[in-house]
Structure 1
Amino acid sequence: MASNDSSVLIAVSTYAEDASWGVWNVPAALLPMAYVDGVAAAGGLPVLLPQTGEDPSALSAVDGLVLAGGADVDPAGYGDRPHEKTVSRPERDRFEFALLREARRRRLPVLGVCRGMQLLNVALGGTLTQHLPDTIGTAHQPGPATYGTTRVAFTEGSRVAGILGADAEVHCYHHQAVDRLGTGLVVTGRAADGTVEAVESPGEPFVVGVQWHPEQDNRDLRLFAALVRAARGRRAIEAPKMEV
């Protein structure tokens, strides 16, 4: 059991970027508050994980994991050369690959958001389309720092359909997408233009990736709530083992 009270601890990976506040302009571990608010409003206690090499041991103290959005996954991870529009953070990749391996080993519930879904796919041997305008003519981002919306249709009987229904209008901001699917994953959501918008691993208790940004809609907490429920359920199963 990760914690000894009723709080369900949900780790969220963070950005390592230069940031400015007050008189400071320094490297920082960052996370948009929308993730914190989304997890908290869904009943979880968010725990922010700064990038620490490739050490995933912090996951021994939590009940679930969110792999947050951010920069592109380094194409070297799937044997490709970088596109001119690709901006990657290899150090973050290595940390989050380690987090994902440990989370799956511990059978922690995992939700990958945007980059997080792409990282999940690459970690399982898949590849990415590095720049959607080269293949479908447009990216799912109207402009810098501006979220677009798209409607996603979900596969009947999938975990994500059980959470969100047959379809949903979602907030998106991405120029990359899943190309070849990783081993063990299935596509469970697509946009009208064919872009993969949701994947999951049916062989695991809760491993879900979504290409959109659920944290941007504070009126719809269903994905975060599903993650928290899964984390609470895992704790209920693990607690007797820890007490023996």
Structure 2
Amino acid sequence: MARPLIAITGPEKGAAGPRALVAGAVRWYGGKPVHIRPSDRSLQHHYDGVVITGGHDVNPALYAAEPEVEPLHDTERDALEMHVIELSLARRLPILGICRGAQLLNVFRGGSLFQELRSRRRRTSNRWTVLPLKRLHVESGSMLARLVGDGTQRINSLHNQAIDRAGEGLRISGRDLDGIVQAIEDPDYGFLLGVQWHPEFLLPMVTHRALFKALVDSARQYADTRRARENGHNT
């Protein structure tokens, strides 16, 4: 049986470590990862799932806001990933957004972002860490709860921006102790999940591996349906 092809987006240069970890998780659960960068012209491949990875801040122009902090944007990557999201949503591909990826999914759906979080934190630290030192409160009945369990989970934190207003059709399924959004999903889509933390750095924990397993499983189902449809057209 052919492995589902999972597109992993990223910048033109850098971020090799996180992307390698994502690719490793995809392989572990039977997927075939392929890396997509702004200079690539291979967007017409029959991807069966997509991971939008973390990185620079999303340009506030994409959600009609003025810059409030020192800009650290990658406009070429913004353009690439907005295009990938558009194509993926049109084909209803399984999508996992990580950190910046979750923010970009939200912006594509018409949502907005907080450009800085320091002034909004009261019970959580601004310290960046790959270790699971922060708490996630998971919304009962959500897809995220089915994957990682209800109640409280441990997560890491490598972000200085976060989701403010949720985009159209998106449900907030997780928050931290300050109420800052940590997860969004679309309950009417299939598999569309955005998480503010970085599960690729927490792969020893089964709850975080579960996100990649669910993505690959959903992509496999998508691929099987696509091949059956193509074979039906060929007979």
Say whether the fold is shared (TM-score over 0.5).
Answer: yes
1:14 to 10, 14, 18: 10
Which residue in the other structure is 1:186 paired with?
Answer: 171
Change beyond 3 A, Cα 1:183–1:56: farther
How far apart, CA to CA, are the structure 2 residues paired with 1:152 and 1:43?
28
What secondary structure does 2:12 align onto?
A: strand
Asked if 1:236 corresponds to 2:228, the answer is: no
How far apart, CA to CA, are the structure 1 residues paired with 2:115 and 2:196?
14
Structure 2 CA distance for aligned equivalents of residues 191 and 175 of structure 1: 14
The 8 Å contact of residues 38 and 80 in structure 2, kept in 1 or not, is answered as yes
Matched, 1:57 2:40: no
How many Å apart are 1:16 and its aligned residue? 2.1
Q: Which runs of 5+ in 2 are unaligned?
A: none
Looking at structure 2, the residues matched to 93 and 51 of structure 1 have their Cα atoms a distance apart, in angstroms, of 9
2:173 counterpart SS class = strand
Q: Say whether 1:135 aligns with 2:120.
A: yes
Cα distance in 1 for residues equivalent to 2:155 and 2:191: 21
- Aligned residue pairs: how many? 226
Q: How far apart are the structure 2 equivalents of 1:154 and 1:16?
A: 34
How big is the shift at 1:71? 0.3
3-state SS in 1 of match to 2:187: coil
Alignment of 1:147 with 2:133, yes or no, is no
- Normalising by structure 1, report the TM-score: 0.86
Q: What's 2:25 paired with?
A: 38
1:117–1:217 distance in 2 versus 1, CA, 3 Å: same
Give 1:84 deviation, angstroms.
2.5
Aligned residue in 2 for 1:169: 154
Report % sequence identity: 36
Distance in 2 (alpha carbons) for counterparts of 1:47 and 1:141? 33
Q: Say if 1:140 and 1:208 are closer, same or farther in 2 by CA, change over 3 A.
A: farther
Q: Say if 1:56 and 1:95, in contact at 8 Å, map to a contact too.
A: no
Structure with the bigger percentage of strand: 1
Residue deviations 1:99-126, cap 9 Å, x none?
Answer: 0010011111000000000000111111
1:140-160 C-alpha deviation (Å, 9 max, x unpaired): 6525xx435311111111111
1:195 lines up with 2:163 in the alignment: no
CA–CA distance in structure 2, aligned partners of residues 68 and 133 of structure 1: 23
Which letter maps to 1:228? Answer: V
Name which of 194, 218, 222 aligns with 1:209: 194
Instruction: Tell me, yes or no, if the aligned pair for 2:69 and 2:116 is still in contact at 8 Å.
Output: no
Greater helix proportion: 2
Give 1:24's aligned residue.
Answer: none
Q: Is the 8 A contact 1:14 1:49 kept in 2?
A: yes
1:161 and 1:120, CA in 2 relative to 1: closer, same or farther beyond 3 A? Answer: same
Q: Which 5+ residue runs of structure 1 have no aligned equivalent?
A: 20-28
Over aligned residue pairs, what C-alpha RMSD do you find?
2.0
Q: TM-score, normalised by structure 2?
A: 0.89
Residues 108-119 of structure 1: pairs in structure 2 closer than 5 A = 108-119=93-104
Contact 1:16 1:50 in 2 (8 A): yes
Amino acid at match of 1:165: G
SS at match of 1:197: strand
Whole-Å separation in 2 of the counterparts to 1:127 and 1:203: 21
Q: Are the structure 2 counterparts of residues 38 and 140 from structure 1 closer, same or farther at C-alpha, using a change threshold of 3 Å?
A: farther
